C-alpha cells in the first residue's frame, strides 16, 4: 500500500528550510526513523517517519522551503499500516502506527501515548522529565524504587556528604585542642546519626515528588524494559503495564562493580550502599579501592572510630588526579588510617567465623588479614544491559554503555540516553545537564551537550578538586601550558582555619593564554571549581582571573593569586622574574 508522508505541524512557522535529507529512495525505514532535518531561526527539527516501509519517492531536497502539510515522500507500507488522512494525523505519535515489535500480550497497554518517557528517576532522569514538562511535553517518569532521586540522593552523594560533614566536625573539634579548646572524645549515637542522614535524604526526595506534581509529570513506580521501539513494559507493585511513548530518555544509571569470586552473600562484604547504611561500627575495616568512594567512606568510618585499611591497585590514590593535588590528602589519610597499601591487589576474600579473611598480592602486600567489614569500591558499571534495549533496536556496548551523539541521541533517533549509562564521567552534575539537552532536543531546540569541562570533587578532608585538563593529561597529550599556582600556607583565611596544607593551580594554554584546566586541594576546594569552570568556559586568561577582585580574606583568593602568579603580577609571594 502506498502512503504519503507530509510535513507535520511544526509550530509557528509558515515555511522552514530543509537542511538535511537523511534517506534515499529505496530505503527501508522504521516508524520514527528521521527522514529530513528542518531549520528555522529558532530550532532544528527532525521529521520522523510516521509509518514503516520502503520509500518509493522523495519530493524535497536540501534548500527547499516547506510548510505544514507539504508532501515529503511516498512510502510503500506493504499491508501493515493505514494511510494517515492529513498532515495533522501524520504528526501524531508514531506509536499510533503499527509498532515494529508487537507488545507483549500479557501486560495491559495504556491508552495514553506520552511525548516523552524517561526511564530512571535519578538526577539525570528527573531533570530530563522536569525540563521536558516545562517545555510543554506530556511526560512520564518511570522509577523502579519507591523514591525518586536515584543513587545520588538515596544511597550516594547526599547521604555520604551528610556523614562526611559529621566526620569533618569531629575532626575539627579534635583539632581545636591545638587552639586551646578541648571538647573531650565524641559520644556517637549511631541511630541518631542514621536518622539525621535519612532526614536529609527524605527532605530532598520528598521535594522531588512535589516538583513532579507541580509540573504534571506522571510518576510510575516499577522496573521498566523496552517492549518495542515505542513502548516499555513496567513491572511494578500493581502488576505489569505497558506505556507508549513518542520519545524515550534512558537514564538508568550504573551499579557498583562486584569483584568476582567474593562471598557476596556474606553481609560483612559491602558496597557503597551497604557502607552508607551505617549498621554498626566495625572494629577493623578494609576498603578495596582508593578512588573517590573508597576514600570518602574510609574517611567517615575512620573518624567515627573504626580501624581502617585501604588497598589500591594502582601506585597512587585517586587515579586520574594530579599527584601534587593528591599529596596533602595522602598525608592526612596516612595519619587517619591504619594502613594504605598501594600497587596491591586483593586475591581472595574468605568468609571465616571471626571475620572476612583477605589475601593480598603485590610488592607491599601484607600477610592475610581479618576484617569485620570489607567495602568494595572499585568503580561502577553502567546498567545498559538491564533494560532489553535490543527490543527497541538501541545499541549497547559490551560494558553496558549506550553510545550517544552530542544531542544525547542513541542509534535510534527517537530514543536518547543520558547520565552514567551514556558514558564517563559518572557524575550527577554531568547527568543533569545531559538530561536537559535531551529534553530540549526532543522539544525541537538547537541544543547539544558540549561542555568545555566537567568538575570532579573528592569530598574527603581535605577536599581534592579539579576541572578541565589535568597537568598529567596536558603532559601526556603534549599540550604546551603555563602554570600559576598558590600555596594555601600563604593564604590568611586558610591559616586562620588551622590549615597549612593546600594548593591551587591553574593551567593556561601557552599559545592562546586561555585557562584550560585547574585544580585545588584544601578545605572546601570543591567550591573553588565554580569560578575556574566558568573561566574555562568563557576562555578567560590569567589577567581576566587575576584582575577580578576576590574578597579578602577568602580561600578564593588562592584562585586570583594563582592567576597573578601566571601573569607575573603576584606580590604575596616572592617570585624571581623568569627573564
Closer residue to ligand NAD in complex, CB, 52/375: 375
Least spacing, CB of residue 461 vs ligand NAD, in Å: 13
Closer residue to ligand NAD in complex, CB, 86/364: 364
Give the span between the Cα atoms of 392 and 99, in whole angstroms.
10
Closer residue to ligand NAD in complex, CB, 45/262: 262
Q: Of residues 179, 247, 445, 552, which has the active-site annotation?
A: 552
Contact 503, 520 (CB under 8 A): yes
Give the span between the Cα atoms of 250 and 118, in whole angstroms.
6
Closer residue to ligand NAD in complex, CB, 314/500: 314
Least spacing, CB of residue 259 vs ligand NAD, in Å: 6
Contact 559, 531 (CB under 8 A): yes
Closer residue to ligand NAD in complex, CB, 38/293: 293
Least spacing, CB of residue 464 vs ligand NAD, in Å: 10
- What does 231-271 look like in DSSP terms, one character per residue? EEEEEETTEEEEEEEEEEEE---EEE---TTS-TTSTTEE-
Least spacing, CB of residue 271 vs ligand NAD, in Å: 9
Closer residue to ligand NAD in complex, CB, 484/522: 522
| Beta-ladder partners of 142 | 119, 220
Q: Which residue has the cell 539525570?
A: 124
Give the span between the Cα atoms of 339 and 537, in whole angstroms.
40
Closer residue to ligand NAD in complex, CB, 218/420: 420
Least spacing, CB of residue 311 vs ligand NAD, in Å: 5
Give the span between the Cα atoms of 561 and 552, in whole angstroms.
12
Least spacing, CB of residue 147 vs ligand NAD, in Å: 19
Nearest residue to ligand NAD, by Cβ distance, number only? 291
Q: Give the number of other CB atoms < 10 A from CB of residue 416.
A: 30
Least spacing, CB of residue 279 vs ligand NAD, in Å: 20
Q: Give the number of other CB atoms < 10 A from CB of residue 246.
A: 21
Closer residue to ligand NAD in complex, CB, 236/319: 319
| Beta-ladder partners of 359 | 348
CA angle 238, 243, 249 (to 5 degrees): 115
Give the span between the Cα atoms of 501 and 10, in whole angstroms.
59
| Beta-ladder partners of 543 | none
Contact 520, 529 (CB under 8 A): yes
Q: Is 429 a catalytic residue?
A: no
Least spacing, CB of residue 568 vs ligand NAD, in Å: 35
Give the span between the Cα atoms of 381 and 333, in whole angstroms.
27
Cell of 472: 598529567
Give the span between the Cα atoms of 327 and 224, in whole angstroms.
44
Least spacing, CB of residue 348 vs ligand NAD, in Å: 11
Closer residue to ligand NAD in complex, CB, 459/481: 459
- Work out the burial of residue 89: count CB atoms within 10 Å of its CB; fewer than 13 is exposed, 13-18 middle, 19 or more buried: middle
Give the span between the Cα atoms of 277 and 166, in whole angstroms.
15
DSSP state of 409: B
Closer residue to ligand NAD in complex, CB, 250/377: 377
Cell of 486: 598558590
Q: In the complex, which residues of this chain contact ligand NAD (CB under 6 A)?
A: 259, 288-294, 311-314, 319, 345-346, 377-380, 425-427, 457-459
E strands, 32-128, are: 34-39, 44-48, 53-58, 65-66, 71-76, 109-119
Least spacing, CB of residue 2 vs ligand NAD, in Å: 52
Sheet strands side by side (includes 53-58): 2-6, 71-76, 53-58, 28-29
HEC secondary structure over 520-576: EEECCHHHHHHHHHHHHHHCCEHHHHHCCCCCCCCCCHHHHHHHHHHHCCCCCCCCC
Closer residue to ligand NAD in complex, CB, 425/492: 425
Contact 297, 272 (CB under 8 A): yes
Q: In terms of Cα–Cα distance, which of 466, 430, 469 is closest to 451?
A: 430
Give the span between the Cα atoms of 364 and 341, in whole angstroms.
6
Least spacing, CB of residue 307 vs ligand NAD, in Å: 19
Residues classed as catalytic: 552
Amino acid at each position: 500500500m502506498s502512503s504519503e508522508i507530509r510535513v507535520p505541524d511544526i509550530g509557528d512557522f509558515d515555511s522552514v528550510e530543509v537542511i538535511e535529507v537523511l534517506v534515499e529512495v529505496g530505503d527501508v525505514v522504521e516508524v520514527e526513523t528521521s527522514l529530513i532535518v528542518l531549520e528555522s531561526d529558532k530550532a532544528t527539527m527532525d521529521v520522523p517517519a510516521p509509518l514503516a516501509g520502503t520509500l518509493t519517492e522523495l519530493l524535497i531536497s536540501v534548500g527547499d522551503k516547506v510548510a505544514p502539510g507539504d508532501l515529503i515522500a511516498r512510502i510503500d507500507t506493504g499491508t501493515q499500516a493505514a494511510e494517515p488522512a492529513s498532515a495533522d494525523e501524520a504528526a501524531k505519535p508514531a506509536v499510533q502506527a503499527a509498532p515494529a515489535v508487537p507488545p507483549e500480550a500479557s501486560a495491559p497497554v495504556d491508552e495514553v501515548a506520552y511525548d516523552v518517557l524517561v526511564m530512571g528517576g535519578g538526577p539525570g532522569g528527573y531533570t530530563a522529565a522536569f525540563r521536558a514538562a516545562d517545555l510543554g511535553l506530556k511526560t512520564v517518569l518511570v522509577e523502579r524504587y519507591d523514591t525518586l532521586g536515584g543513587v545520588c540522593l538515596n544511597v550516594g552523594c547526599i547521604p555520604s556528604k551528610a556523614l562526611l560533614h559529621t566526620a569533618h566536625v569531629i575532626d575539627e573539634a579534635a583539632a581545636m585542642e591545638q587552639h586551646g579548646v578541648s571538647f573531650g572524645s565524641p559520644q556517637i549515637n549511631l541511630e541518631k546519626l542514621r536518622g539525621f542522614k535519612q532526614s536529609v535524604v527524605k527532605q530532598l526526595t520528598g521535594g522531588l515528588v512535589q516538583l513532579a506534581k507541580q509540573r504534571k509529570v506522571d510518576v510510575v513506580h516499577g522496573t521498566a524494559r523496552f517492549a518495542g521501539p515505542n513502548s516499555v513494559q513496567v513491572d511494578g507493585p500493581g502488576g505489569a503495564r505497558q506505556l507508549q511513548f513518542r520519545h524515550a530518555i534512558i537514564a538508568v544509571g550504573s551499579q557498583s562493580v562486584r569483584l568476582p569470586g567474593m562471598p557476596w552473600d556474606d553481609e560483612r562484604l559491602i558496597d557503597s550502599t551497604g557502607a552508607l547504611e551505617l549498621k554498626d561500627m566495625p572494629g577493623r575495616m578494609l576498603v578495596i579501592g582508593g578512588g573517590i568512594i573508597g576514600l570518602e567512606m574510609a574517611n567517615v568510618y575512620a573518624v567515627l572510630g573504626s580501624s581502617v585499611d585501604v588497598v589500591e591497585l594502582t601506585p597512587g590514590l585517586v587515579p586520574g588526579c594530579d599527584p601534587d593535588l593528591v599529596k596533602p590528602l595522602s598525608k592526612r589519610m596516612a595519619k587517619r588510617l591504619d594502613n594504605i597499601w598501594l600497587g596491591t591487589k586483593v586475591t581472595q576474600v574468605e568468609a571465616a567465623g571471626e571475620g572476612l579473611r583477605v589475601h593480598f598480592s603485590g610488592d607491599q602486600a601484607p600477610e592475610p588479614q581479618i576484617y569485620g567489614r570489607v567495602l568494595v569500591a572499585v568503580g561502577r558499571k553502567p546498567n545498559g544491559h538491564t533494560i532489553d534495549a535490543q527490543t527497541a533496536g538501541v545499541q549497547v556496548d559490551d560494558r553496558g554503555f549506550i553510545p550517544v551523539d552530542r544531542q544525547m541521541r542513541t542509534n535510534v533517533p527517537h530514543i536518547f540516553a543520558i547520565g552514567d549509562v551514556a558514558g564517563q564521567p559518572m557524575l550527577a552534575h554531568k547527568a543533569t545537564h545531559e538530561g536537559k539537552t535531551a529534553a530540549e532536543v526532543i522539544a525541537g531546540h538547537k541544543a547539544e551537550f558540549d561542555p568545555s569541562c566537567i568538575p570532579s570533587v573528592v569530598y574527603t578532608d581535605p577536599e581534592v578538586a579539579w576541572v578541565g585538563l589535568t597537568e598529567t593529561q596536558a603532559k601526556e597529550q603534549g599540550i604546551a601550558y603555563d602554570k600559576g599556582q598558590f600555596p594555601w600556607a600563604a593564604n590568611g583565611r586558610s591559616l586562620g582555619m588551622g590549615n597549612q596544607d593546600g594548593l591551587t593551580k591553574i593551567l593556561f594554554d601557552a599559545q592562546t593564554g586561555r585557562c584550560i584546566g585547574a585544580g585545588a586541594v584544601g578545605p572546601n576546594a570543591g567550591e573553588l571549581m565554580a569560578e575556574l569552570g566558568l573561566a574555562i568556559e568563557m576562555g578567560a586568561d590569567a589577567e581576566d582571573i587575576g584582575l577580578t577582585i576576590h574578597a579578602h580574606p577568602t580561600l578564593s583568593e588562592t584562585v586570583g593569586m594563582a592567576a597573578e602568579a601566571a601573569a607575573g603580577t603576584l606580590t604575596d609571594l616572592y617570585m624571581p622574574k623568569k627573564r
